[in-house]
Structure 1
């Protein structure tokens, strides 16, 4: 009977010892995970919205867990102050101008605090320092953005459906182009004409290039005009002479214009004869009188030749003229 009681006591003692060992191991395990037995310093940051952050959540730096959230309390009127325990070994990488922001461990994981390193120009953080806060988009903000984008996508889809329906029904310029065969044929003809015009332009460019090369041929007229100073001087001299001739022609034309202008005036003889009818009639009468006088003079001379008093004189004159002409034959 006594042996049985001893066995029971020993069994109970073994189970109690195992329980104590398991409890101690659990405490050390949880303590190591939460850095409970690691020397640390305390820093804090004031957030406008902690997005569900809780005490015990992790603090990360460059993707490495360096501490945990110690305490959360309200600050001021509507802000929240978060106290963090940071491993003492890690504080040498965190500077006083470092910033803290709220993030999450994965897309829908636990909330965490992420600390940036800051600038090396500033000293390291110390126990009790307050870090600056960097504003980041929360999950709710991201979801709101997704909702807006989805609404915009729905609107775009609706507009595209209306556009596609109009195209099928032949509405608008694009719809008419797709539905109306005549318009499509005309558009095809326009494209063909544009292609022909482009080919003609290319051909003209090639011919112009060939013509330019011809102008640049050594010894050609264009080459001599551009490079031979003697040819250019002669050409310039010819141009100067042509300019002088042009000036002379202009002066002659001017003189003719002036003379012609005088013909239209009555202050000169020619203009008076051309423009004054009385003077023209008088000149005409004088000419008629001269013609009449000439006829009468001829008649008088004929009468004198037949007069017996002057007949001998005219006969002698005729013989003298005949004798003067005879030796020449």
Structure 2
């Protein structure tokens, strides 16, 4: 074998060795990505729709990749069973009552299975366990909802366009407010009136505040009425007395009204005196006659006193009256003398 053939054989051997090394490195790399050389367990779950999930898609827990989808198969009548390969190191974090749902790495990214939930009271998941699944929003449903929202948005935009056109044309109340200058002035006047009213209300509230603050001034009548029970009781008594006086005055007025009514009644003496003119004339004549009779009686008595037969009687009576008057005067003087020493002793 010559030197050229030896060099060619060496070069071929080197290339073959490099290719083998690259192949081994590729296998190790792919196996590391697929967790082929890591100890794992299998966990099952059943979905109604896998939404395009494929074998080899990732399984996440709390945002961390913990396994891959190992197998997808139909189950039951219309369900799909998914077998997941979970790392042994992540098993202790997944609980038996945890749930699985299908999600996406991004808005349009690959499908993934997300494991979530679980309580510490439940034990860790075991090899071959079945996790409960939770239905997720379908992308198609989301797109349908977005389309409906777009239609609604288009309708709303059209309505706003129509409303803005009507406002520009001055139609409706708001359009009139925007285009009618007279109405705008009236509106400004109304706003000015409201502002004036609000200012008056503010002033009134200030005055009321000052008035209420004065009510708490010590020594004022209002403060005594509000705080001093004695003044309040006296005022209450005065009001009660005033009420009694009012009732008495009312009763008196009623009695006077009844009495005045009786004065107009001719069935009693006062009514006859006030209302019967004939009786009044008779009474007047009777009084005149009595006056005339009394004058004549006086004249007769004077005539009797001057008569010799009755003169002794009247003189005797006059002496007895003088004697009685002198005795009464002496008795009064005696009483005054008896009372004078008592006054001096007291002094």
Question: For the superposition of Structure 1 and Structure 2, which TM-score range results when normalised by the shorter chain?
Answer: 0.7 to 0.9
Distance 1:145 1:245, change over 3 A: same
Distance 2:67 2:251 in 1: 110
Unaligned runs of 5+ in 2: 293-298, 304-347
Match of 1:7? 7
Instruction: Report if the CA contact (8 A) 2:101-2:134 is conserved.
Output: yes
Per-residue deviation, residues 131-166 of structure 1 (Å, max 9, x unmatched): 111222233233223223222222221221122122
Instruction: Report if the CA contact (8 A) 1:59-1:68 is conserved.
Output: yes
Per-residue deviation, residues 160-217 of structure 1 (Å, max 9, x unmatched): 1122122222222221111111111111111111111111111111111222222222
Residue 236 (structure 1) shift? 3.2
Match of 2:155? 155
Distance 1:266 1:183, change over 3 A: farther
Match of 2:141? 141
TM-score, scaled relative to structure 1: 0.78
Match of 1:257? 257
Instruction: Report if the CA contact (8 A) 1:262-1:271 is conserved.
Output: yes
Distance 1:268 1:293 in 2: 20
Asked if 1:171 is matched to 2:171, the reply is yes
Distance 1:271 1:195 in 2: 73
Residue 263 (structure 1) shift? 5.8
Asked if 1:197 is matched to 2:225, the reply is no
Q: How does 1:24-35 map to 2 (within 5 A)?
A: 24-35=24-35
Match of 2:210? 210
Distance 1:286 1:98 in 2: 126
Distance 1:64 1:10, change over 3 A: same
Match of 1:68? 68
Distance 1:29 1:253, change over 3 A: same
Distance 1:179 1:118 in 2: 65
- Structure 2 counterpart SS, 1:46: strand
Asked if 1:107 is matched to 2:107, the reply is yes
Match of 2:245? 245
Instruction: Report if the CA contact (8 A) 2:273-2:279 is conserved.
Output: no
Distance 1:179 1:270 in 2: 89
Distance 1:169 1:268 in 2: 95
Distance 1:285 1:64, change over 3 A: closer
Aligned positions, number: 294
Match of 1:327? none
- Structure 2 counterpart SS, 1:176: helix
Per-residue deviation, residues 243-279 of structure 1 (Å, max 9, x unmatched): 22111111112213333454676755666899xxxxx
- Structure 2 counterpart SS, 1:102: strand
Distance 2:283 2:102 in 1: 136
Distance 1:3 1:224, change over 3 A: closer
Distance 2:135 2:26 in 1: 38
Instruction: Report if the CA contact (8 A) 1:101-1:115 is conserved.
Output: yes
Distance 1:247 1:288, change over 3 A: closer
Instruction: Report if the CA contact (8 A) 1:61-1:117 is conserved.
Output: no
Asked if 1:83 is matched to 2:83, the reply is yes
- Point out the structure with the larger helix share: 2
- Greater CA deviation, 265-274 or 173-182? 265-274
Instruction: Report if the CA contact (8 A) 2:273-2:280 is conserved.
Output: no
TM-score, scaled relative to structure 2: 0.75
Distance 1:268 1:157, change over 3 A: farther
